[in-house]
Amino acid sequence: QMCEKFTVCQNSMEMLLHNNLNLPKVTEEDGDLLTFLSFQDKCLRKISSGLYTFQTYLKYIQETFISENQNVESLSFSTEHLARTLRQMVINPEEVIIPDAATQESLHTKLKSTKAWREKITIHLILRDFTSFMEKTVRAVRYLKNTRSFSV
């Protein structure tokens, strides 16, 4: 929808040049998602922490992309619920990094200072990286569901 409505597409040079958002990612260092039996707790901590971090970005999208407010609100609620659920599965839930209010406010202020002509690119980058993060999260949760006796 972003590409069609605002002509903000993945191959946009401008988008690539300004991607300094530092969005959460699940990487190979977090454990190979296909064989992470020994990395399960580390992977769950990383995913839960990432989901909590994405909350600030989703709040920014909700405030900026008004036409999709209800969809983003639902997405944000579901993301927070998944973050809480995965955090409860971690051996030491206190190790899950949840950004404090000051960190969230600082990031939110930085995002809001984005010039209007870059808003759409910023939203696109956030949604693209969130989608990638969620694809890896789904694979990890499916793997855990098949190797552990729990339900998510």
Given a contact cutoff of 8 angstroms between Cβ atoms, the answer to whether 34 and 136 are in contact is: no
The token pair at 121 is 């690119």
CATH number of the 1-6+35-149 domain: 1.20.1250.10
pLDDT in tens, 38-52: 468 888 899 999 999
Residue 98 burial (10 A CB sphere; 0-12, 13-18, 19+): middle
Locate 110 and state its tokens: 């930085």
pLDDT tens digit sequence for 98-145: 999 999 999 999 888 877 768 888 888 899 999 999 998 888 888 777
**Predicted local confidence at residue 150, as pLDDT:** 52
Residue 29 CB-half CA count within 13 A: 2
Task: Evaluate if pTM is beyond 0.85.
Answer: no
Q: Mean pLDDT for the chain?
A: 79
Domain boundaries, the chain: 1-6+35-149
